[in-house]
């Protein structure tokens, strides 16, 4: 197993977080066009599902385009042997890397003894990582996790992970039980870096949680001695997040509406007949946030069922507001 593309990236490394039901390939393509991150991740996909007769239904979650590269497949599960088989599939599909999810706090995932539940069993976590590495061959294997399950145990948990030589560890700076209910414990990122340094490991340490801009991410990396940051929720309605030359609030409203339309069209091209158009509704609120008459526009968009309907709604909105939609959005 090698470090692959990771060794070639300039630090600090900025990552687009994998988010279930959000960061599908259509969304990642839009982000890549307007503010490409250093690394993209797929939505997390179940190893058990990919190792079953239902694999075909899950494969669209592993679709990607070359414009997203380097692109890493994120997988989750409970059984080491299923991780090994899934890793072999990811190699066949041409991914640049594989990321293991030991961080998802979802109750259904937890019941499967997957996601953050694995933190409770370090030996099983190590077996999973080693099985994935075996199946991955030369592909680099990384881990995304949390500070602990019920309590913060960064030192012990990161130490256990490092024994398996992962290429990188991304730490969501909260425990599983904290979900996202408390502020991120960024100081624990420095603890992870200290453990890594003491172990003489070359593993990269990335942070995650409550980061809203690449400027803030850069400052946190310097402050805590880590190599990069993974950004997630801040990407909603802001495909320019990773573009250092563009602030969302400076983007003319007309252009923001065009990106919304572009997202709808790409989604339709990729997923027509596979996913319901209603999946797109979760994005509309963030796209139109801060626009004049945003509430009315959002309400109309939330009732749309096709690209054509969205185009009509946006056209009517632009006609109604005239030149106002061509000006930069007001500063807040």
List, for residues 157-176, the tens digit of each pLDDT value. Answer: 999 999 999 999 999 999 99
19-49 pLDDT, tens per residue?
A: 999 999 999 999 999 999 999 999 999 999 9
Q: Is the dihedral of CA 314, 315, 319, 325 positive or negative?
A: positive
191-250 pLDDT, tens per residue?
A: 999 999 999 999 999 999 999 999 999 999 999 999 999 999 999 999 999 999 999 999
Query: Two tokens at 27?
Result: 């969304």
Partners of residue 63 on adjacent β-strands: none
* CATH code 1.20.120 region(s) in the chain: 249-326
What is the share, in percent, of the chain residues with pLDDT greater than 90?
94
**What's the rounded Cα separation, in Å, for the pair 134 and 142?**
13
Q: Is the bond into 12 cis (omega within 30 degrees of 0)? A: yes
* CATH code 3.20.20.70 region(s) in the chain: 4-235
Helix (H, G, I), strand (E, B) or coil at 252: strand
- Whether residue 187 contacts residue 154, with contact meaning beta carbons closer than 8 Å, is answered with no
- Whether residue 77 contacts residue 89, with contact meaning beta carbons closer than 8 Å, is answered with no
Other beta carbons less than 10 A from residue 185's beta carbon: 19
180-190 pLDDT, tens per residue?
A: 899 999 999 99
Q: How confident is the model at residue 65 (pLDDT cuts 50, 70, 90)?
A: very high
Average pLDDT in the chain: 95
State the pLDDT at residue 2.
77
* Catalytically annotated residues: 104
State the pLDDT at residue 331.
44
235-289 pLDDT, tens per residue?
A: 999 999 999 999 999 999 999 999 999 999 999 999 999 999 999 999 999 999 9
Which CATH code fits 249-326? 1.20.120
pTM tops 0.75, yes or no = yes
- CATH homologous superfamily for 4-235? Aldolase class I (3.20.20.70)
State the pLDDT at residue 329.
45
Output the CA angle 259-71-238, nearest 5 degrees: 25
């Amino acid at each position: 197993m090698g470090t692959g593309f990771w060794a070639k990236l300039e630090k600090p490394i900025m990552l687009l977080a994998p988010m279930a039901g959000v960061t599908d390939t259509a969304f990642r393509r839009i982000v890549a066009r307007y503010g490409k991150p250093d690394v993209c991740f797929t939505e997390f996909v179940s190893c058990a599902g990919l190792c079953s007769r239902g694999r075909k239904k899950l494969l669209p979650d592993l679709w990607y385009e070359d414009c997203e590269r380097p692109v890493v497949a994120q997988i989750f599960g409970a059984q080491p042997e299923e991780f090994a088989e899934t890793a072999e599939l990811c190699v066949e599909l041409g991914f640049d890397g594989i990321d293991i999810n030991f961080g998802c706090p979802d109750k259904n995932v937890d019941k499967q003894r997957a996601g953050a539940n694995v933190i409770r069993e370090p030996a099983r976590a190590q077996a999973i990582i080693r099985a994935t590495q075996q199946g991955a061959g030369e592909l680099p294997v990384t881990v995304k996790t949390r500070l602990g399950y019920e309590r913060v145990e960064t030192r012990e948990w990161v130490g256990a992970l490092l024994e398996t030589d992962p290429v990188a560890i991304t730490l969501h700076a909260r425990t599983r039980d904290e979900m996202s209910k408390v502020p991120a414990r960024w100081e624990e990122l420095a603890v992870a870096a200290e453990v890594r340094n003491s172990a003489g490991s070359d593993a990269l340490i990335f942070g995650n949680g409550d980061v809203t801009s690449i400027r803030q991410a850069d400052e946190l990396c310097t402050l805590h001695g880590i190599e990069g940051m993974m950004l997630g929720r801040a990407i909603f309605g802001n495909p320019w997040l990773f573009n250092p030359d563009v602030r969302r609030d400076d983007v003319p409203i007309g252009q923001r509406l065009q990106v919304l339309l572009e997202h709808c069209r790409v989604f339709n091209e990729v997923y027509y007949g596979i996913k319901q158009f209603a999946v797109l509704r979760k994005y509309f609120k963030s796209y139109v946030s801060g626009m004049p008459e945003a509430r009315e526009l959002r309400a109309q968009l939330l009732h749309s069922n096709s690209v054509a309907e969205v185009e009509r709604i946006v056209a009517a909105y632009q006609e109604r507001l005239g030149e106002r939609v061509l000006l930069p959005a007001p500063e807040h």
